[in-house]
Amino acid sequence: MSEFAGMEELLQDFLLESSELLSDVDNKLVELEKRPNDKALLNDIFRGFHTIKGGAGFLNAAPMVTLCHRTENLFDKLRNGELPLNPGLMDTILDATGQVREMFGRMGQGLMPASAPQALLSALDNALAGGAAAPVAPTAAPTAPAVTTPTPAPAPAAATSGAQDPDWQQLYGAVTGQTPPAAPAPAAQAVQVAQAVAITQPVPPSPAQPAAQRSAPAKQAAASAPAPVENTIRIDTHRLDQVLNLSGEIGLTKNRLTTLRTEILQGNAEAHTLRSLDEAISQLDLLVGDLQNAVMKTRMQPIGRLFQKYPRLARDLARQLGKEVELVITGEETELDKTMIEDLNDPLVHLVRNAVDHGVEPTEERIAAGKEAQSQVLLSAEQVGDHIVISITDDGRGMSAEALRRKAIEKGLIDAETANSLDEKQSLQLIFLPGFSTKDQISSVSGRGVGMDVVRTNIQKLNGRIDINSIPGEGTRISISLPLTLAILPVLVVRVCNQPFAVPLAMVREIIPIEQASMQEVSGKPTIVVRDEILPLRTLSGLLGWEPTQKPSFGVLMQSAEKSFILAVDSFVGRDDVVIKPLENIRPRGVAGATLSGDGAVVLVLDMEDLLKPQEANAQASRSLELLAL
């Protein structure tokens, strides 16, 4: 049951567009803290609330209209210099945006938003009343930007237009009487009518609210508000035209093929007919490739849409923790598949919070260490080849490998012997173990140690990798590498036991021949040394639980997240771009889905993570070891 019956489409549009607008407002607010007198910023924020109010009015969302209206009036006073911006007021304003976002969340579920907390409305009223009283005498109503507020409780904002209507008609008559429309109306007449029109209402003063009380609830709301569900997408018409154009051309090529087929079926297989056939198929090949690309592009969205939520997040968190943090964003124009952008939100929120909470040290500690009091957290995105690399870099205290190892032993995640065998890089990977949390005191902010392993799992679901670098005292850098899209997966097709299998190309580093002489046994397991790196050797047939039909002759050097290993196969077919079809009803271990090869054969696409998971029997004992050793 939607409370917006008959307006669902309008609601979707409104939520999509307004959410973007609000994120933009949020960012501008963070900017505004740095440049409180920037007229252009104040204007933009004013317009943001104004626009949201206008749309909300048509949806009869009175609570949102009321809230936006007051906030808008506040910004009107701010931009006119009638009110100074102070930190307390800033908190109130940020609470208001949090509240609006919360309302979007409710509306996204088809529910009419509840009224904003009275404390927040009163705080806004106080600010408005305070501003009006100070610089402008209350009696100077005609010159002051007196506001017709729908503030009194019984009359919701939506009623304003009705009340104004008849008065406008008088004014209308007065002015439109002058036929050349540009001619100004005589001043006296206008003023006379104006008095009839105006229903100015001084904002009623409200009892003062303690600052803490008014900012606390809404802050919570800003963090927990559910994002409105987005099931529509906005596409550049140019990109859509390209899809249309290509599908048209494919249609033409198909026609040509049909004609050629008829000719060939009628026995005309002359050289030039076959050459035409060859040309047509080559062209189709090109066009289909282009079409796939073009369709993929329609799903691409700039990652800035995601990034723009974080400066506010970092700012609020830093304030809460008493730290000074600036979140610097670069590469926001980098484009990524829409579904990936959505799925990246949770991991990125977690990483940004981690950087501010755990990475950045308290201000005193920074000063003691000779660093700037304000820390910088850099969030960047860039396209590297066919991958997108997102990284979060802080200039905080960094992580000590020794401390991580100690912590992991304390938590019983690894034993001392394993710990000793870990190098610096492997020690950093410990934070990805389930149940690992580096902070002794659990802060309400960064969660309860359910963090990094979930982050890594989420990134891996997107066929991505997460890497970590840290220098004690200098900072930490976490980078995420993702494929451009999930729709088309580049794979390497290998053969084992006379059956083809596809493995994600993203994991393949190189292919090496396997010679018996180069194999070494390390603690009972076969390994091969590749450029001074000792890599475990796993046979695909072994992983699948099949009897090998021949000695493997090629090794595929695979890397997933932090693990590297060599996958031994009988031979390989080559690389291919495939579309994975999930298997229905059955889910064999280690199989992500199936695809068709060029000759129409079914090829299973392997899920290496799943395949590498230890079998039930030796699972518990070897899990953490396996995770690190592989």
- Cα–Cα dist 431/114, whole Å: 41
**In whole angstroms, how close is the CB of 326 to other proteins at the nearest point?**
27
Q: Which is nearer to other proteins, 104 or 432 (CB)?
A: 104
Q: Which is nearer to other proteins, 180 or 545 (CB)?
A: 180
Nearest-CA neighbor of 142 among 193, 191, 205, 80?
Answer: 191
Burial-class residue 513 by CB neighbours within 10 Å (0-12, 13-18, 19+).
Answer: exposed
* H-run or E-run covering 7: none
- The reply on whether position 18 binds other proteins by CB under 8 A is yes
The residue among 262, 287, 292 whose CA lies nearest residue 276 is 262
Residue from 429, 444, 314 nearest 30 by CA: 314
Q: Does 10 bind other proteins (CB under 8 A)?
A: yes
Q: Which stretch binds other proteins (CB under 8 A): 7-15, 333-341, 414-422, 621-629?
A: 7-15
Cβ(381)–Cβ(307) below 8 Å: yes
Containing 191, the helix (H) or strand (E) segment is helix 187-197
Residue 182 engages other proteins in binding (rule: CB under 8 A)? yes
* Closest C-alpha among 162, 144, 121, 160 to residue 202: 144
136-175: contacts with other proteins (CB under 8 A): 145-148, 158, 160-161, 164-165, 168-169, 171-172, 174-175
Q: Which of 2, 33, 54, 201 binds other proteins (CB under 8 A)?
A: 54
Judged by CB under 8 A, the residue of 23, 28, 29, 55 near other proteins is: 55
Kindly compute the dihedral angle of the four CA atoms of residues 130, 134, 140, 141, in this order, to the nearest 10 degrees: -20
Is residue 58 a contact point for other proteins (CB under 8 A)? yes
398 contacts 417 by C-beta, under 8 angstroms? no
Of 3, 31, 38, 60, which lies in the binding site for other proteins, with binding defined by CB under 8 A? 60
At its nearest, how many Å lie between other proteins and the CB of residue 294?
A: 24
The Cα 529–Cα 298 span in angstroms is: 44
Helices (H) and strands (E) in the chain, counts: 21, 18
Compute the least distance from the CB of residue 155 to other proteins, in Å.
Answer: 13
Check if the beta carbon of residue 382 is closer than 8 Å to that of residue 388.
yes
Nearest to 528 by CA among 512, 506, 552, 546: 512
Q: Cβ of residue 79: shortest distance to other proteins, in angstroms?
A: 12
Q: Residue 26 has which token pair?
A: 């949020």
Q: How many residues bind other proteins (CB under 8 A)?
A: 44
By the rule CB under 8 A, 44 interacts with other proteins: yes
Q: Which stretch binds other proteins (CB under 8 A): 48-56, 247-255, 423-431, 515-523?
A: 48-56
235 makes contact with other proteins (CB under 8 A): no
Tokens 């800003």 -> residue? 222
Express the helix, strand and coil content of the chain in percent, nearest 5 each: 50, 20, 30
Q: Residue 169 contacts by C-beta under 8 Å, 6 or more apart in sequence?
A: none
User: Could you tell me if 19 and 228 are in contact, meaning their C-beta atoms sit under 8 angstroms apart?
Assistant: yes
Please, which residue, 47 or 439, has the CB nearer to other proteins?
47
Look up tokens 């019984």; give the residue: 154
Residue closer to other proteins (CB basis): 61 or 325: 61
Q: By CB under 8 A, tell whether 393 contacts other proteins.
A: no
Q: Least distance in Å: CB of 32 to other proteins? A: 17
Nearer to other proteins, 108 or 590 (CB): 108
State which residue, 161 or 330, has the beta carbon closest to other proteins. Answer: 161
57 part of the interface to other proteins, by CB under 8 A: yes
Instruction: Please pick, from the candidates 85, 111, 197, 227, the single residue that binds other proteins as defined by CB under 8 A.
Output: 197
How far is C-alpha 173 from the geometric centre of its chain's CA atoms? Answer: 53
Least distance to other proteins, CB of residue 26, Å: 17
Contacts of residue 40, Cβ cutoff 8 Å, sequence gap at least 6: none
Query: Is residue 192 at the binding interface for other proteins, with CB under 8 A as the rule?
Result: no
CA 388 to chain CA centroid, Å, is 13
Nearer to other proteins, 14 or 501 (CB): 14
Tell me the closest approach of the beta carbon of residue 237 to other proteins, in angstroms: 13
Closest approach of Cβ 181 to other proteins, in Å?
Answer: 4
**Which residues 300-339 are close enough to bind other proteins by CB under 8 A?**
none
Q: Which is nearer to other proteins, 146 or 608 (CB)?
A: 146
CA distance 76 to 460: 47
Least distance (Å) from other proteins to the CB of residue 193?
8
| Shortest spacing between CB 430 and other proteins, in angstroms | 49
Is residue 257 within the footprint of other proteins (CB under 8 A)? no
What the block records as the tokens of 119 is 């404390």
- DSSP for 68-133, please give it: HHHHHHHHHHHHTTSS---HHHHHHHHHHHHHHHHHHHHHHTT-PPPPPPHHHHHHHHHHHHHHHH
- Asked if residue 51 binds other proteins (CB under 8 A), the reply is yes
**Cα distance between residue 23 and residue 27, in whole Å:** 6
State in angstroms the smallest separation of the CB of 239 from other proteins.
17
Residue 14 in contact with other proteins, rule: CB under 8 A: yes
Q: Which of residues 64-93 bind other proteins (CB under 8 A)?
A: none
Q: Which stretch binds other proteins (CB under 8 A): 14-22, 88-96, 328-336, 501-509?
A: 14-22
52 close to 21: Cβ distance less than 8 angstroms? yes
Under the binding rule (CB under 8 A), the answer on residue 104 touching other proteins is no
Cα 569 to Cα 564: distance, rounded to the nearest angstrom = 16
Least CB distance to other proteins at residue 111 (A): 19
Considering only 85, 190, 401, 630, the residue that binds other proteins (CB under 8 A) is 190
Q: How far is the CB of 69 from other proteins (least distance, A)?
A: 8
Residues in contact with other proteins by the rule CB under 8 A: 10, 13-14, 17-18, 21, 44, 47, 50-51, 53-55, 57-58, 60, 145-148, 158, 160-161, 164-165, 168-169, 171-172, 174-176, 180-185, 190, 193-194, 197-198, 200
